[in-house]
Structure 1
Amino acid sequence: MENFVVSARKYRPSTFDSVVGQHHITNTLKNAISSKHLAQAFLFCGPRGVGKTTCARILAKTINCQNITPEVEACNECESCRSFNSSSSFNIHELDAASNNSVEDIRNLVEQVRYAPQTGKYKIYIIDEVHMLSNQAFNAFLKTLEEPPSYAIFILATTERHKIIPTILSRCQIFDFNRIRIEDMVRHLGNIAQKESIQAEPDALHLISQKADGALRDALSIFDQMVTFSGSNVTYKATVENLHILDYDYYFRLTDDLLNQNLPGTLLLFDEILKNGFDAHNFLIGIGEHFRSLLVCKDPQTVQLLEVSDNIKAKYAEQSAKSSVSFLLSGLNLVSACDTNYKSSKNQRLHVELCLMKMAHLNAALSFAQNGAEPKKAKVAAPAPAPTASTGATSAPAAVVPSAGLQQPVPAGSIPSAELQQPPKPQQVTPDARVAPSAAPAPASSAPAAPSKPGLPPPKKLSKLPSLKDLQAQPAAQTIANTAEEAEEATYGAFVPVDQAKLKTVWHTILRRKKEENMMDYTLLNRQYQVSEQNEITLYLDNHVMMDQFSALRPALLSELKQQLGNRSIVLKAEVVEVQDERKLYTSADKFNYLAEKFPVIVDLKQRFGLDTDF
């Protein structure tokens, strides 16, 4: 029986041009070789299976090639290339750092570097999984990596760059390898299938590439597995069955049920998925990816983000046309919330079913939200019909009354001019008074309250202009205000100068009360004030903080002063006076006395709590 060689080894790239999906790396390396600007150390970083070790071997082979082609590739004919192809080269050494990660292993490597190559120009050391070296091994490698012999080149490869110490990173040229794109993997798998005389459906190759998640080596391993399972004909159905993947068809069927608000069909489909052995969490994540793909298909500029075959892309475009953006965005929000709380849920199946139930009613909720807002707008904008006379005559012409943002026709003659010219009597105004529209206006005293016509809203709701009732009520309100003012003048008298002696007595009475009730108010008021000829009492404050406190206290204090002094012409205000104190405060007692003068409340606190001034 012939030995089987897996595709990852059999079709491993041997030239720069055959490397898949890393053209930015291979072009840079080729330019470095052609211009002879080779670094002393290279570091290849990237995920698994993207070609780091492969590129390291191609670089080592090409550097030592004795007849490099014009395309900067190894000739595969010279002695160096033949020895490399037969794995017998003495100038290229590979070290697996995962199993040789001690200080002793690195010291042995450093000893080998001392010897120049017997044939060829360079000795290349490829260290794979270099992040597995211990810190002591890294430190032992630093000096050699920084100043190697002119013939030594180091190529380091790792999948976890963050585990390498910074002193190593600073001594290397770093190349970051990308994940292989699905299109590149599909093309590469198709070429291999053609060489092996295998019939492979494009949908199956796309599914294999997606399952590989950017790693070409994983894609080749899955491809070999599918060839073993289905023979020389790799179909999409066989791939789904063998890899145990949730088919696109499940998600297309689910979305159709959700769009049609078919809740029973949605729950039965979910039950079928669980019975087939699929994980509910993976199914939930798949819904989010499916909705994202539908949203991507909404715009021609973003269709390129959909990495599927042409057949599946056509299905996505068809279903995307049926789905609204609001439905897809709301569905994505529900799926995201369900995914966040899935691990902490006690009943995970019910948790996913609740999400599906909400998604099944999304269209109904969105439709209700849109249709529910339109009648309200129409109701506000619709003009009311013009009322007709009770005798059956034709309707009177309408006069438009402007208002804030709304114009409403009002029957002509609804505000009689005779009533506006009459002096209103306050005792005749009642809250239920209405003006009856008629051909000839009647006097206001004999006009009965007429019911409003159907479809004519009250004038207050249609306009901000005063109605007849408001016009009649204004003189009454003015009369009441004048009467209150006259009563206040009768109580307090007209302008009379403030009695200074009485003010002093009243002020001290207020201070004694404030000292018992609120010490902060007492501290605020216990200071100098001045009374002007215009009865302005000005209180002098020390700072703006006290001004804010005074503003809150002023209304109650002014009212009390007016009442106690019997003088309504008093005006109370305050001013901030910055006092410059030239005293020098050295001792604690001086500081306490100074603060006690400004804030007497400190003395009270000292006595209550038994405080000491020495601090």
Structure 2
Amino acid sequence: MVLTQPLYRRWRSQTFAEVVGQEHVTRTLRNSVRSGRIHHAYLFAGPRGTGKTSTGRILAKAVNCLALTSDGEPCNRCAICVEMNEGRSLDLIEIDAASNRKIEHIRDLREAVRLAPVTARYKVYIIDEVHMLTTEAANALLKTLEEPPPQVVFILATTELHRVPATIASRCQRFLFRRIPPAAARARLETICQAEGIEIAPQTLDLIVNLSGGSLRDAENLLDQLVAHFGPTIDHEAARELLGYVEDSRALEVVQAVFAGDIPHALRLVNAVREDGYDLRQFNREVIGHLRSVLLLAYGLEDEVEAGPSTVEVLRPLAEVADPQTLAGLIRTFNGVNFGTDPGWPLPLELAVVEAGRLLGSPAGRPEPSAASRPEASASPITPADVLPRRDQAPPVPAGATPPTAETPLTMPEPPVPAPVGEIPPDFKQQLAEALRARGSDGRKVAGLLEWCEGVEADGNRLTFVFSNRLFRDKAADPLSRRVLDQTVRKLTGRRYELEFEVRTEDRAARLERARADPVVRLLEEEFGGEVLDVR
């Protein structure tokens, strides 16, 4: 049996131009090599799988290449480049600082750097994970790093720049590697698939890119895993199941249910995901990703949202009514979920869902508003003239009556008789929502809040908007929304009301009864031997 090289090694970048997503680094290094301004020590820092070691190898070839191109690229054809590509060069030494971290290893290195290169112009040392060196070893490296022999170049790489001693970092030229952008990673995978004869659906490539987290090496390894399992033709659904990926729909439904206050439905979704055998940790990451998208949309940063257009349209209404501070609390809650050693145990995620409901002020068991209770978008906008006549408008002349002339002076009409005190039309909330939408962008936001309003009550000159969720009550009661509502109500009814906003929930006995009947609560009582004393 012949072992084949994995894709990430077979497709390792061999020139600066092939390095994906790090143009700000490769451009500087090419200019440095082309101009002959070679520094004695470089520090490459960034997440895993972003090309740090590969760039170090390319730099080692470039500074020693016998036929350097005009734009500072190694030729990959001369004897030096071929030796380094095949791993035979004695002048390219790679050291893993995680396993060679002691002071005696650095002492051996200090002795070795005194020796002249065997065939190349420079002897290049690539020290990977340099932050793993002990304090004594790092101190022993300082003098050599500051004043190395003229024929030596050091390239240090790390995934944790904050752990590299400042005394070492200050002696190097620092280059920060970024996570690979999704579009660049996808383009690279498409190139590999085309060259390797792999048939794969576009949505499967998107799935691989999402799971890689900005690491091209991880993306190439996932593709390699799928090829090993399915062969050159990869089915999307089978690939999704193999990788343990949960579809966006259920993670998105959890976010919607939490915002709607339907905590039981969100808990049922979590348990359904568990019963289907999916990875709850990955599912939780998807929920966090959607909450992050809502946060970015709330601040108007749609370009930074890593989601499809259909998902953005679903999340946009939530962003319009959500408070950024509450969103930050929700993200912290789900980000703090710790599954421990059992990623299939749903309790940590269930507790996060319940806590999210508490942050949003949702009473346990609140059902999601039905479509029938929401305003119909197809109704025609209501204008003030449809409800009450204008105060400066003369009353209509009855049939057979003589219209006023100059000889019969026009008398000022009596003010219109207002509707009986405490009475508003049964469909007043729908009329108000339509009038708000006709107002413009500020009105549409408030109209979205009314979708979560349980009802509007009139008592004398007081108009009360009733909510069952504290988050939406607070957004409706803020000064901007209150001003828009006040102006629209006055325009719609012809009278000025004092606006009030209330949150009404079930009484204590009903809340206790509903909570004690909940299957998750019963499970928690059996597991910990507790008792429900109150629901707030």
Structure 1 residue 51 corresponds to structure 2 residue 43: no
Give 1:30 deviation, angstroms. 0.5
In structure 2, give the amino acid aligned to 1:352.
V
Indicate the residue corresponding to 2:311 in structure 1.
316
Closer, same or farther: CA 338–30 of 1 in aligned 2, 3 Å: closer
User: Structure 1: how far apart are the matches of 2:47 and 2:118?
Assistant: 36
Give 1:341 deviation, angstroms. 5.0
What is the correspondence of 1:524-563 to structure 2 with a 5 Å cutoff? none
Closer, same or farther: CA 283–198 of 1 in aligned 2, 3 Å: closer
Closer, same or farther: CA 157–351 of 1 in aligned 2, 3 Å: closer
Gaps of 5+ in 1: 369-373, 387-396, 402-407, 411-455, 463-615
Indicate the residue corresponding to 1:305 in structure 2.
304
| Stretch moving more, 284-293 or 31-40 | 284-293
Structure 1 residue 349 corresponds to structure 2 residue 344: no
Structure 1 residue 325 corresponds to structure 2 residue 340: no
Give 1:269 deviation, angstroms. 4.2
Indicate the residue corresponding to 1:519 in structure 2.
none
User: Structure 2: how far apart are the matches of 1:346 and 1:193?
Assistant: 40
Closer, same or farther: CA 326–106 of 1 in aligned 2, 3 Å: closer
* Contact map agreement 1:43 1:172 (CA 8 A) in 2: yes
* Contact map agreement 1:45 1:160 (CA 8 A) in 2: yes
User: Structure 2: how far apart are the matches of 1:23 and 1:326?
Assistant: 37
Give 1:249 deviation, angstroms. 3.3
Indicate the residue corresponding to 1:133 in structure 2.
133
Aligned length: 389
User: Structure 2: how far apart are the matches of 1:326 and 1:253?
Assistant: 12
Give the match's secondary structure for 1:67: coil
In structure 2, give the amino acid aligned to 1:305.
E
Give the match's secondary structure for 2:111: helix
Give 1:361 deviation, angstroms. 3.7
Give 1:167 deviation, angstroms. 1.1
What is the correspondence of 1:211-250 to structure 2 with a 5 Å cutoff? 211-250=211-250
In structure 2, give the amino acid aligned to 1:172.
C
Give the match's secondary structure for 2:241: helix
Give 1:335 deviation, angstroms. 6.8
User: Structure 2: how far apart are the matches of 1:347 and 1:42?
Assistant: 44
In structure 1, give the amino acid aligned to 2:121.
K
Give 1:4 deviation, angstroms. 1.7
Give 1:340 deviation, angstroms. 4.6
User: Structure 2: how far apart are the matches of 1:14 and 1:177?
Assistant: 17
User: Structure 1: how far apart are the matches of 2:291 and 2:63?
Assistant: 50
| Stretch moving more, 341-350 or 242-251 | 341-350
In structure 2, give the amino acid aligned to 1:209.
V
What is the correspondence of 1:31-180 to structure 2 with a 5 Å cutoff? 31-180=31-180
Please give the TM-score of this superposition, normalised by the length of structure 1: 0.54
Give 1:259 deviation, angstroms. 10
User: Structure 2: how far apart are the matches of 1:347 and 1:99?
Assistant: 36
* Contact map agreement 2:102 2:134 (CA 8 A) in 1: yes
In structure 2, give the amino acid aligned to 1:325.
P
Q: Deviations over 1:232-288 (max 9, x none)?
A: 222321221111111123356668889999998766544422321346675455345
Indicate the residue corresponding to 1:2 in structure 2.
2
Closer, same or farther: CA 279–337 of 1 in aligned 2, 3 Å: farther
| Stretch moving more, 247-256 or 172-181 | 247-256
User: Structure 2: how far apart are the matches of 1:24 and 1:75?
Assistant: 21
User: Structure 2: how far apart are the matches of 1:256 and 1:341?
Assistant: 16
* Contact map agreement 1:291 1:331 (CA 8 A) in 2: no
* Contact map agreement 2:291 2:327 (CA 8 A) in 1: no
* Contact map agreement 1:43 1:157 (CA 8 A) in 2: yes
* Identity across matched positions, percent: 35
What is the correspondence of 1:365-376 to structure 2 with a 5 Å cutoff? none
Closer, same or farther: CA 138–241 of 1 in aligned 2, 3 Å: same
Closer, same or farther: CA 69–366 of 1 in aligned 2, 3 Å: same
What is the RMSD of the two structures over their aligned residues, measured on CA atoms?
A: 4.6
User: Structure 2: how far apart are the matches of 1:154 and 1:59?
Assistant: 11
Give the match's secondary structure for 2:249: helix
Gaps of 5+ in 2: 339-345, 377-381, 395-409, 418-459, 462-494, 496-536
Indicate the residue corresponding to 1:185 in structure 2.
185
User: Structure 2: how far apart are the matches of 1:186 and 1:36?
Assistant: 35
In structure 1, give the amino acid aligned to 2:353.
V
Please give the TM-score of this superposition, normalised by the length of structure 2: 0.61
Give 1:72 deviation, angstroms. 1.9
Indicate the residue corresponding to 1:360 in structure 2.
368
Q: Deviations over 1:183-207 (max 9, x none)?
A: 1111111111111111011110111
User: Structure 2: how far apart are the matches of 1:258 and 1:341?
Assistant: 13
User: Structure 2: how far apart are the matches of 1:245 and 1:295?
Assistant: 24
Closer, same or farther: CA 30–358 of 1 in aligned 2, 3 Å: farther
In structure 2, give the amino acid aligned to 1:360.
E
What is the correspondence of 1:562-581 to structure 2 with a 5 Å cutoff? none
User: Structure 2: how far apart are the matches of 1:364 and 1:334?
Assistant: 29
